[in-house]
Amino acid sequence: MYLYNSATHKKEEFKTHTPGRVEMYTCGPTVYHFAHIGNLRSYIMEDVLEKYLRFAGYDVNRVMNITDVGHLSSDADTGEDKMLKGAKRENKTVMDIAKFYTDAFFDDCRKLNIKTPDVVQPATGCIDEYIKIISRLVDTGYAYLAGGNVYFDSSKLARYYIFNDHDEDDLAVGVREGVEEDSNKRNKNDFVLWFTKSKFEDQALKWDSPWGVGYPGWHIECSGISMKYNGEYLDLHCGGVDNAFPHHTNEIAQSESYLGHPWCPYWFHVHHLNDPAGKMSKSKGEFLTVSLLEEKGYDPLAYRWFCLQSHYRKTLVFSWENLDNAAAAYTKLLNRVAALKPEGDVDRAVFDGYREKFLQQVGNDLNTSMAVTAVFDALKAKTNDATKLAVIGEFDKVLSLSLLEKAAALREKAAQTVQSGGGDYVITGEGDPDIDAKVLARYEAKKAKNFAEADRIRDELKAQGIEVTDVKGGASWKRV
């Protein structure tokens, strides 16, 4: 597999520290509010990446944190703690907020067919790991105490900026929202490892430490959690492009200073989902959620399909029109799969050929648009339906669009008897209620000897690419 590596700014062959095994870490949500669909784009693409790696034969250990403490409203260690902000907004405790929105996040993931990582660790559960790392950084001179807090000293590094190819807007997240400079810092790029007096009065969660009662900074949690569950050598770190600076930059700084050796060679960043007004953000107030899509009648998997049609390193623009187009295309695909008859034997040679081609195409920097194309290629293959269904089912191990399950439900629905005029008239097709209704209307016109109307409906269906065949006791239709 070849992946674009944000740390080297080029596409590279993916190799792991332990052959055949991938230690994978993905930055999880800060659970102070619902995830918006822009956040979830990253998790969808990371899910596809994990499933592709498993599909390719790797043993994957994927770890994700849940941020329930320490993430301030600015990524540059200033402002209010987001968890406390959520608790005040809803007049609940921080832990109540954390549980509610953690559950909501994984409910959204379930609806989007996003697999739960092998390890999910709330930040509040690894305080001892953070203290151990920070203590060594202080002892070795990579960290210092000032104003009651512990800071990482970025001047000790030969190279601090790692992801300097990102857009200026992406790199500016650390100084947004009117952030004031922290006067305790020796250098502008220094960052907090442990808070005590700073923001202390309002902090709901706090622990004893060698530097006083306080709480960890946001950046240290991912290093501590990853080292606990992935070990000292991480193969692949994932997140949204807005995590690259300062969050991932700071993770590298503190982790490699602590370990004394390179930490993670491959960095995978998913670009933004924008709405017509710009990048989606919770700070704008109302924002789009999976629940809102459902309320408007969309299948959440239509949104997953929408994301898969674009490359993860391209900014994706959301609009209702774009989602409508994606939903229509997804429905059409399901209907085409439903039209296949699950009968006969699978041609293993054809199956293996398509699988190998899929591995190569999608393995070129997680090219999901080619994965989508591969499904349509399988539908057009010169082979039997059983083989086509087997190939599509194999691809869906990576795409997770529930193609076979939803197609089977449509097939069952299409086989149901349609009642008309007191008699039974069976329509079989691809499970499209609108087409079924027109075929039924054509039958009723013929039954009433209104042949002109029956011919008109037939011509209308033909113009839509629908071929209707009359059979005993009903009709069968298909797209041609």
CB 292 within 8 A of CB 257: no
C-beta neighbour count of 215 within 10 angstroms: 23
Collapsing DSSP to helix, strand or coil, 18 comes out as coil
Say if residue 407 is in the same domain as residue 393.
yes
Domain membership flag for residue 279? no
Beta strand pairing call for 273-275 and 236-240:
unpaired
Tell me, what CATH number does 133's domain have? 3.40.50.620
Determine the pLDDT at residue 264: 98
What DSSP string runs through 65-81? EEB-S--BSSTTS-S-B
Peptide bond connecting 246 to the previous residue in cis, omega within 30 degrees of 0: yes
Same domain, 37 and 173: yes
Tell me how long the chain is.
Answer: 480
Q: What angle do CA 41, 242, 359 make, to 5 degrees?
A: 45
Q: Is residue 222 part of a domain?
A: yes
Tokens 């990253």 correspond to 42
**What is the percent of the chain where pLDDT is above 90?**
70
Return the structure tokens found at 194: 């442990």
The 3 state secondary structure assigned to 203-266 is CCCCECCCCCCEEECHHHHHHHHHHHHHCCCCCEEEEEHHHHHHHHHHHHHHHHHHHCCCCCCE
At which residue do the structure tokens 């609108």 appear? 434
Residues 407 and 421 in one domain: no
Domain of 208, in residue numbers = 2-270
Determine contact, residues 3/266, Cβ cutoff 8 Å. Answer: yes
- pLDDT confidence of residue 57: 98
> What CATH number is attached to the domain comprising 382?
1.20.120.1910
What is the domain count for the chain?
3
* pLDDT at residue 73 in the model: 55
**The pLDDT of residue 434:** 79
Residue with tokens 């991938």: 22
Tokens representing 146 are 């000032």
Tell me how far apart the alpha carbons of residues 414 and 412 are, in angstroms, rounded to a whole number: 5
Domain boundary among 351, 385, 411: 411
Nearest to 288 by CA among 99, 34, 5: 34
Q: Do 209 and 357 have their domain in common? A: no
Phi, psi of 280 (to 5 degrees): -70, 140
- The one-letter code for the residue type at 111 is K
Domain match, 298 and 367 both: yes
Tokens of 76: 């540059």
Say how many C-beta atoms besides its own lie within 10 A of residue 127's C-beta: 18
According to the model, what pLDDT value does residue 433 have?
Answer: 74
Residue with the two structure tokens 């269906």: 461
Nearest to 393 by CA among 364, 355, 432: 355
Closest CA to 300 of 432, 109, 431: 109
Q: Could you tell me if residue 285 is inside a domain?
A: no
pLDDT (0 to 100) of residue 82: 77
What type of residue is 442?
A: R
**CA distance linking residue 182 with residue 186, whole number of Å:** 9
Strand partners for 196: none
Mean pLDDT by 10 residues, the chain (480 residues): 97 98 96 93 98 98 91 58 77 86 97 98 97 98 95 95 63 40 88 81 82 93 98 98 94 98 98 79 72 96 98 95 96 93 93 98 98 96 96 98 94 61 67 81 90 92 90 82
Q: Is residue 283 part of a domain?
A: no
406 with 419, same domain: the answer is no
- 386 and 257 belong to one structural domain: no
3-class secondary structure, 62 = strand
Q: Are residues 430 and 396 in the same domain?
A: no
Structure tokens at 85: 């902000």
* Residue 253 domain flag: yes
Starting at the edge strand found earlier in the chain, the sheet holding 423-428 runs 417-420, 423-428, 474-479, 466-471
127 part of a folded domain: yes
State how far the Cα of 39 lies from the Cα of 101, in Å rounded to an integer.
14
pLDDT of residue 72: 64
Q: Report the distance separating Cα 395 and Cα 200, nearest Å.
A: 51
| Strand 149-152 with 191-195, pairing | antiparallel
Indicate whether 343 belongs to any domain: yes
* Burial class of residue 210 (count of CB atoms within 10 Å of its CB; 0-12, 13-18, 19+): exposed
CA-wise closest residue to 58 among 12, 4, 19, 2: 19
Q: Are residues 160 and 197 in the same domain?
A: yes
Q: Is residue 187 domain-shared with residue 264, that is, in the same domain?
A: yes
Query: Contact at 8 Å (CB) between 79 and 179?
Result: yes
**Domain-ending residue, one of 411, 445, 464:** 411
Whether 277 is in a domain gets the answer no
Residues 163 and 85 occupy one common structural domain: yes
| Residue 133 token pair | 């790392």
Residue 4 β-bridge partners: 11
What is the per-residue pLDDT for 89?
81
pLDDT of residue 178: 37
Q: Note whether 297 and 252 are same-domain residues.
A: no
